[in-house]
Structure 1
Amino acid sequence: MNKFCLLFLLGVTGVVLLGSCKKYYESVPVEAVTSDYIWDTKDSNGVYASEFLFSIYASLPDGQNRISRDFLDAGSDDAVTSQTSAAPITLLATNGITIFNNPDDLWTNSYASIRKATDFLNNFSKVPLKNTYERRSWFGEARVMRAFFYFELVKRYGGVPIVGDSVKTLKDDVQIPRSSFERCINYIVSECNQAIDSLRDDPVSAGNYGRWTKDGARALKAHVLLYAASPLYNGGNVGDSLNGYASYDANRWKLAADAAKAIMDEGRYQLETDFKNIFLAQQSVEVIFAKTNTQNYFLESRNGPINFSTAPATGNTSPTQELVDAYGMSNGLPISDPASGYNPQDPYSNRDPRLTYTVLYNGAQWLGTQLQTFNGGVNRPGGTTTQTQTGYYMRKFLGNFENATTYENHYTDWVYYRYGEVLLNYAEAMNEFAGPTEDVFNAVEAIRQRAGLNPYALDHSISQDSLRTIIRNERHKEMAFEEQRYWDIRRWKIAGEIYNSAPLHGISITKTPTGFLYNIVPVLTTAFDESKMYFYPIPYSEVVSNINMRQNPGWD
């Protein structure tokens, strides 16, 4: 088989192309494979165009241990890496990135994917695909993915060059200046709107699960508009027009709320009854769009507790005490409330059930036994072995192995958009626009009710500020490790407060003859330079090769 087909086979998960590639290319030299073969004017089934489209899907980033074996959240206040050697993720939490070294630099990969999506949009019309419904959808899929990759750039760098429908090659001298933040947001929203008109209706069949749909594009649009309305960009930007809007406009919150409400009004999605099923069962009633993966137990091997001989793991992710403390009690009260019933010497009893779904702690059931994360315990023995640095291991996304003896394959799809986030997006945006209305309370209480809080209802007489605090806390708990918290503390413009006020903490547990002693201890001193860290530096290679490329504030 020639190299061209092999690239598709390696890059497109779950698509068997061997037969068609061999038949089509067996007499064609590798050097002769051109776009004419991809956009085949005789390919009425669109086989080769489909392969090209799926290669764009394959380039969607997967958040599972994405950054040198760590979750992005290990660069926020939710976790630290357990790796004993210097880990790239720590640079993001300690002012460590530079114009030469940024472990979350997606500039090149995003533009490569944008180029492929544009190539598809410009050329797919040549392919005589017989199924007109599929034809419309494929155009929509390429368009919404182009919008997705532009937003991946904008939330990292602010305004970026918009290439439009031109396809640049490595030989081109590209001297395109950055577009304003506002123009980028308008462009992304416009692309989503166009895609919505073409995409499949929700929900899709099992055979099309993992492909973009109308509500998938709506969810991306709502997500983008929520960011655009947030304090970092909505008049509070740290730079100029490249980094946000010139002044505050409350209507931006209304646009974000309306975009989320459009999905709610469709009524096609709902909250999953079992929180864990969101991530373990394909075609969950809550999942709007996810990147599909093969069944495996990769997450357990990377993040599960150490020292299980029948289920070896390296425990890469150490949740912080800050994350654990965000989860209140099962009665809905924060642990800081004297009426909550919280006992610091029995800290995990009667907590918000989402804590157990998200974090493994001392005494938690796992692999048929109770975890020992006390000092010197089986799962925290000390020494140089990679192990929890905080007394906690990550539980979220892992299979139901509480009573098993070994790990088995299960679905590990990366969920980008789900109905729980839509409700939280709506609640946040509507509270900022109109204050604590009944619709806002209903959205937040739906999340709390599904979580199992009793009572889940809130005091409807509270202020807008108080409700904002509750909404942000619910988002913190609900969306942990889903690549939300890292960006949320930036768009809310509170990253300086989070990183600079105090070190991150873990728990030091001492076993005694009568029980355990719990002491909170520092584990990592974080830092955040507010003058520049809200936006990543434009990569050095881009600045020196493009005379029109302006660097972000503080990175010159």
Structure 2
Amino acid sequence: MNRFFSCKNLIQVFITGLVLSVSGLLGCKKVLDKPDLGAIPGSEVWTDLNLSTAFLNNIYFNAMPNWPDATNHVSDEGAGGGSTLYGQLTVNSITYWPYADVRSINLLLQQVPGAPFTESDKNSLIGQALFLRAWLYFQLVSRYGGVPIILTPQSLEDNLNVTRNKTSECITQIIKDLDDAAALLPASWSTDNAGRATRGAALALKGRVLLHYASEQFNPAQDQSRWQTAYNANKAAMDSLTKYGNALMPDFRNLWFVEGNANTEAIMVTRFSYPGRAQTHDASVRPLEESQNFTGGDQPSLELVNAFPMKNGLPVTAQGSGYNPQAYWLNRDPRFATTIVHNGDPWALSGKTGRIQWTFSGGEAISGTFSGFYTRKTIFEGYKPFDAEHSGTDWIEIRMAEVMLNYAEAANEVGNVQVGYDMLNAIRKRAGIDAGTDGNHGLKPGMTKAEMRAAILLERRLELAFEGKRDQDLRRRRLYASVLNGKKRTGLDIRLIKFGGKAADFFAAYATGTINLATDYFSYFSETPKMLDPNNEINYKDEYYFYAIPLEHLQKNPNLQQTKGWDGGTFDPLL
């Protein structure tokens, strides 16, 4: 299978006295035929298309996002996120300062226009670089607000003590880069080059950026013109992606395991492979008995478990939903079974047909889940433990379902509630939720803007669970105080109450086929809520919506202002 980060040899490129490690990552067979790859002068990089491409590939390697294991814990999806959620951050806690990669991008943008390449090749390199610069600046702005905008490769002769630009200026530059990138990028790439930035990725990222900029984190006064701009951008992204064949994949569970151009849902992708660039997300989520060196990640909270509706689309608390608390996993939104692994759930890890996942106390051979649940989503069951630690499953940063939800949210905020219904119905239909007599897949008819807003945020929580989007949604809509503060997340303490609590005796009885958990679960087990935050209530502080600039950067550059709310900071991130 072709992978984005696949070539193994390293090319040492010497540029202005700096040694840059450049991986020949994409379309690099000719690069590997080059003689004397140990020392290539910078002048050769910008006269050889293969070397320029390898330079760009190294930026991809550094800049593209990884699996969001850490951010999944800074929300109500599962346990973790302690210092952030408990109000214990310092000015040095959040460090993200990718200006070395920004400089590499700026160097490419400076050199490529004069390179002896075809206009098509120049446009390709420039479009991709602009996309990556926009991505990096958006990551900075979403954390800190306005940051220094640097558009040329600085040298020691330049004034390096730059100031922070306004947040609005940064957003303007990000959008310009994405517009310029979209005009230069193709709608798709060949299979070998799948994973590079496309026109659709630029438009989708633009839609996401403007959705964030319209939301309360950046727009507490709710200037409606920002929502209109976000709506226009997301509609344009939807129209373009649909035109060029992007669509929801038919199978929600397996969409993560279809790679390259065959995956019509994947819009922005970081590719992985083994050997090459592998990832450990699979290992970190699996129980330790079917993993190695990693475990404990993405264990769902009881709050997330209870958020999934029934297969008829109704909340579990709704009258007539059909919810059975004695077998809470039955007849749920099919995404429940794809996302949640519960006690007694079949889970054929390592390809073990008939394997059952037990999460009761004493039921796991090694260690165990803290919350009482595991997540099945994105985890390839056929991997053996070694494979899980060296997984090649690609990370999809933006997929069509998110674009649809972004479009729905922006449309709703400008008064077009029907677009919300259209997008949610399409997503719920793909999920397998029953249409119902009204065709609304369990959605309340005639919703107000506020009701539709809540429905969209819930759908994002379910559809995008453990994709690093929940904490973004809580941040951009300033919901931490109303949703989580003063609370403690919960899981389940599950105990065997028969066979004297002896797991071996229960397993022997279960193997006979005489135990039916769908009808007799609580004859064998007790379940008691347990605190996933045993020592602290959640206390996400208002100043966390824009983090402090770490002291190391302030000390290097005395012209940088600290963010308001942090150690006497004077920089207003809302301007």
1:551 partner amino acid:
Q
In the alignment, is the contact (CA less than 8 A) between 2:86 and 2:540 conserved in 1?
A: no
Question: What is residue 427 of structure 2 aligned with on the other side?
Answer: 447
Residue 285 (structure 2) pairs with residue 303 (structure 1):
yes
- Backbone CA RMSD of aligned residues: 2.7
Q: How far off is 1:506 after superposition?
A: 0.6
Q: How far off is 1:286 after superposition?
A: 0.6
Residue 251 (structure 2) pairs with residue 269 (structure 1):
no
Question: What is residue 320 of structure 2 aligned with on the other side?
Answer: 339
Residue 57 (structure 2) pairs with residue 50 (structure 1):
no
Rounded Cα–Cα distance in structure 2 between residues aligned with 1:229 and 1:297: 34
Where 2:405 maps in the other structure, the secondary structure is helix
Q: How far off is 1:463 after superposition?
A: 1.4
Q: How far off is 1:306 after superposition?
A: 2.6
Structure 1 residues 330 and 322: CA distance shift in structure 2, 3 A: same
In the alignment, is the contact (CA less than 8 A) between 1:358 and 1:396 conserved in 2?
A: yes
Rounded Cα–Cα distance in structure 2 between residues aligned with 1:376 and 1:485: 32
Question: What is residue 242 of structure 1 aligned with on the other side?
Answer: none
1:4 partner amino acid:
Q
Rounded Cα–Cα distance in structure 2 between residues aligned with 1:63 and 1:526: 29
1:230-241 aligned at under 5 Å gives the runs: 230-234=215-219, 236=220
In the alignment, is the contact (CA less than 8 A) between 2:301 and 2:491 conserved in 1?
A: yes
Question: What is residue 86 of structure 2 aligned with on the other side?
Answer: 94
Where 1:434 maps in the other structure, the secondary structure is coil
Q: How far does the alpha carbon of each residue in 1:120-165 deviate from its partner, in whole angstroms, 9 at most, with x for none?
A: 00011232124x323211110001110110000000001111112x
1:188 aligned to which of 163, 166, 174: 174
In the alignment, is the contact (CA less than 8 A) between 1:345 and 1:516 conserved in 2?
A: no
1:537 aligned to which of 538, 544, 548: 548
Structure 1 residues 529 and 276: CA distance shift in structure 2, 3 A: closer
Where 1:533 maps in the other structure, the secondary structure is helix
Question: What is residue 4 of structure 1 aligned with on the other side?
Answer: 12
Question: What is residue 111 of structure 1 aligned with on the other side?
Answer: 99
Q: How far off is 1:213 after superposition?
A: 0.7
Question: What is residue 149 of structure 1 aligned with on the other side?
Answer: 136
Rounded Cα–Cα distance in structure 1 between residues aligned with 2:62 and 2:385: 35
Q: How far off is 1:414 after superposition?
A: 1.2
Q: How far does the alpha carbon of each residue in 1:517-550 deviate from its partner, in whole angstroms, 9 at most, with x for none?
A: 2222211134334331111111111122222211
Count of matched residue positions in the alignment of Structure 1 and Structure 2: 510
In the alignment, is the contact (CA less than 8 A) between 1:59 and 1:113 conserved in 2?
A: yes
Q: How far does the alpha carbon of each residue in 1:361-387 deviate from its partner, in whole angstroms, 9 at most, with x for none?
A: 2122112311110122126x6xxx4x3
Rounded Cα–Cα distance in structure 1 between residues aligned with 2:297 and 2:412: 37
Residue 269 (structure 2) pairs with residue 290 (structure 1):
yes
2:399 aligned to which of 418, 426, 441: 418
Rounded Cα–Cα distance in structure 1 between residues aligned with 2:395 and 2:10: 31
2:565 partner amino acid:
G
1:378 aligned to which of 364, 367, 370: 364
Rounded Cα–Cα distance in structure 1 between residues aligned with 2:401 and 2:428: 10
2:530 partner amino acid:
V
In the alignment, is the contact (CA less than 8 A) between 2:11 and 2:22 conserved in 1?
A: no
Residue 162 (structure 2) pairs with residue 162 (structure 1):
no
Q: How far does the alpha carbon of each residue in 1:25-47 deviate from its partner, in whole angstroms, 9 at most, with x for none?
A: 46xxx5xx54313213xx3xx01
Q: How far off is 1:411 after superposition?
A: 4.1
Where 2:526 maps in the other structure, the secondary structure is strand
Question: What is residue 430 of structure 1 aligned with on the other side?
Answer: 411
Structure 1 residues 330 and 8: CA distance shift in structure 2, 3 A: farther
Structure 1 residues 170 and 516: CA distance shift in structure 2, 3 A: farther
Structure 1, unmatched stretches of 5+, are 82-88, 237-246
Structure 1 residues 521 and 212: CA distance shift in structure 2, 3 A: same
Q: How far off is 1:10 after superposition?
A: 6.6
Residue 566 (structure 2) pairs with residue 555 (structure 1):
yes
In the alignment, is the contact (CA less than 8 A) between 2:128 and 2:181 conserved in 1?
A: yes
Rounded Cα–Cα distance in structure 2 between residues aligned with 1:72 and 1:230: 19
In the alignment, is the contact (CA less than 8 A) between 2:105 and 2:133 conserved in 1?
A: yes
Q: How far does the alpha carbon of each residue in 1:204-244 deviate from its partner, in whole angstroms, 9 at most, with x for none?
A: 3212200001001001100000001101211x1xxxxxxxx
Q: How far off is 1:290 after superposition?
A: 0.3
Rounded Cα–Cα distance in structure 2 between residues aligned with 1:405 and 1:548: 50
Where 2:63 maps in the other structure, the secondary structure is coil
1:16-415 aligned at under 5 Å gives the runs: 20=32, 23-25=35-37, 30=39, 34-40=41-47, 43=48, 46-64=49-67, 70-81=69-80, 89-102=81-94, 105-107=95-97, 110-130=98-118, 132-164=119-151, 166-169=152-155, 173-201=159-187, 203-234=188-219, 236=220, 247-266=221-240, 267=242, 268-282=245-259, 283=261, 284-295=263-274, 298-308=280-290, 314-367=295-348, 368=353, 369-378=355-364, 385=367, 387-401=368-382, 411-415=392-396
Which sits farther off after the overlay, 175-184 or 312-321? 312-321
Rounded Cα–Cα distance in structure 2 between residues aligned with 1:60 and 1:3: 18
Where 2:544 maps in the other structure, the secondary structure is coil
1:23 partner amino acid:
P
Rounded Cα–Cα distance in structure 2 between residues aligned with 1:345 and 1:178: 57
Q: How far does the alpha carbon of each residue in 1:83-102 deviate from its partner, in whole angstroms, 9 at most, with x for none?
A: xxxxxx43222223212233
Rounded Cα–Cα distance in structure 2 between residues aligned with 1:490 and 1:271: 27
Where 2:543 maps in the other structure, the secondary structure is coil
TM, length-normalised to structure 1: 0.85
In the alignment, is the contact (CA less than 8 A) between 1:302 and 1:314 conserved in 2?
A: yes
Structure 1 residues 462 and 317: CA distance shift in structure 2, 3 A: closer
Structure 1 residues 211 and 180: CA distance shift in structure 2, 3 A: same
2:52 partner amino acid:
A
Structure 1 residues 297 and 217: CA distance shift in structure 2, 3 A: closer
Q: How far off is 1:183 after superposition?
A: 1.2
Q: How far off is 1:453 after superposition?
A: 0.7
1:365 partner amino acid:
P
Structure 1 residues 49 and 399: CA distance shift in structure 2, 3 A: same
